[in-house]
């Protein structure tokens, strides 16, 4: 079976598993909400500051949520050693990663888009006119987070203190995503919104670099 076919099958499995219980999605959404509310206590949410800092806080919340949400990614494959089964079922282990990172990107994107209206209301920003652009930056940013997060999740699943380890490894690595995504989002939420193409290009570059790295080295992450 081709890489595409393998990935599609595995992706279907990932999605089915999650949508059966939806526990990952619901807990992630609630977590981001909590973080947003907590952030609002640290400054005046209706001031001009909120408008300027809003995008950054939003992405910080996404990053924190992702570093928690990505934990079960490979951990759950350790019970009953389903990882070995997965490895046997595909010819190219990259399919496993592709499927997982596609699923993670989808989950992240879903939670982000669901929270967008709430964020817009809480922080008093207009999102409707630039909705498609926001969706684009959400996608590119979440893709980057998922690629790095899926890879690192495979690493932390094999170490001790994994709950603390994944955020520890992931968050410094994602600094470029945080900066670029915040910049692009902030430009879109500005009083006179515009698309920061430099940022979009940078996000694409990040995604390409890490996807390539994952393609080159992914199989070693899954070694016995």
Partner 1 sequence: MWKRGFVGAAVLSLVAASAYASFFIAPTERTMGLIQRIFYFHAASAWAGMTAFSVCFVANLLYVWRRQPKWDSLGVSAAEVGLAFITIVLITGPIWAKPVWGIYWTWDARLTSTFVLWLLYISYLLLRTLIEEPDRRALLSALFGIFAFLDVPLVFGAIRWWRTQHPAPVIMGGPGSGLEPTMRAVFFFSVFALHALMAFLIVERYGLEKLRVELEIVRREAEAV
Report the residue number, 2 or 175, with the smaller CB distance to partner 1. Answer: 175
Burial of 119 (0-12, 13-18, 19+ CB in 10 A): buried
Among the listed ranges 47-55, 120-128, 135-143, 145-153, the one in contact with partner 1 (CB under 8 A) is 145-153
Helices (H), the chain: 3-21, 23-40, 48-69, 72-75, 82-89, 94-123, 131-156, 162-173, 175-188, 197-221
Q: In whole angstroms, how far apart are CA 43 and each of 36, 39, 52, 57?
A: 12, 8, 12, 12
Query: Could you give the CA distance from residue 119 to residue 180 in angstroms, rounded to a whole number?
Result: 19
Q: Is 11 in the site for partner 1 (CB under 8 A)?
A: no
Work out which of 114, 135, 173, 204 binds partner 1, going by CB under 8 A: 173
Work out which of 46, 159, 194, 197 binds partner 1, going by CB under 8 A: 159
Q: Is 210 in the site for partner 1 (CB under 8 A)?
A: yes
Q: Is 78 in the site for partner 1 (CB under 8 A)?
A: no
Among the listed ranges 36-44, 71-79, 126-134, 149-157, the one in contact with partner 1 (CB under 8 A) is 149-157
For the CA atoms of 83, 214, 68, 75, the dihedral, rounded to the nearest 10 degrees, stands at 10
Shortest distance (Å) from residue 219 CB to partner 1: 10
Work out which of 155, 190, 195, 204 binds partner 1, going by CB under 8 A: 155
Q: CA quadruple 219, 178, 186, 62: dihedral positive or negative? A: positive
Query: Could you give the CA distance from residue 62 to residue 15 in angstroms, rounded to a whole number?
Result: 20
Shortest distance (Å) from residue 83 CB to partner 1: 14
Query: Could you give the CA distance from residue 150 to residue 97 in angstroms, rounded to a whole number?
Result: 7
Work out which of 123, 183, 188, 200 binds partner 1, going by CB under 8 A: 183
Work out which of 36, 103, 169, 189 binds partner 1, going by CB under 8 A: 169
CA angle 198, 200, 202 (to 5 degrees): 70
Q: Is 108 in the site for partner 1 (CB under 8 A)?
A: no
Six-digit token string for 24: 């990952």
Shortest distance (Å) from residue 75 CB to partner 1: 15
Q: Is 205 in the site for partner 1 (CB under 8 A)?
A: yes
Residues binding partner 1 (CB under 8 A): 148, 151-152, 155, 158-161, 165, 168-169, 172-173, 175-176, 179-180, 183, 198-199, 202, 205-206, 209-210, 213, 217, 220-221, 223
């Amino acid at each position: 079976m081709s890489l595409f076919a393998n990935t599609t099958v595995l992706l279907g499995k990932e999605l089915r598993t999650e949508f059966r219980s939806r526990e990952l999605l619901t807990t992630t959404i609630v977590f981001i909400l909590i973080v947003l509310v907590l952030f609002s206590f640290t400054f005046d949410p209706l001031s001009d500051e909120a408008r300027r800092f809003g995008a950054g806080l939003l992405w910080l919340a996404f990053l924190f949520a992702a570093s928690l949400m990505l934990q079960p990614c490979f951990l759950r494959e350790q019970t009953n050693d389903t990882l070995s089964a997965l490895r046997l079922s595909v010819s190219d282990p990259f399919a496993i990663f592709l499927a997982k990172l596609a699923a993670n990107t989808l989950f992240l994107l879903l939670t982000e888009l669901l929270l967008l209206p709430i964020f817009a209301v809480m922080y008093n920003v207009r999102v409707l006119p630039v909705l498609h652009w926001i969706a684009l930056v959400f996608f590119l940013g979440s893709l980057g987070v998922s690629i790095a997060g899926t890879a690192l999740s495979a690493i932390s699943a094999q170490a001790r203190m994994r709950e603390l380890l994944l955020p520890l490894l992931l968050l410094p690595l994602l600094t470029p995503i945080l900066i670029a995504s915040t910049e692009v989002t902030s430009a879109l939420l500005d009083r006179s919104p515009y698309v920061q193409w430099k940022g979009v290009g940078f996000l694409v570059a990040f995604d390409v670099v890490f996807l390539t790295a994952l393609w080159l080295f992914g199989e070693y992450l899954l070694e016995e």
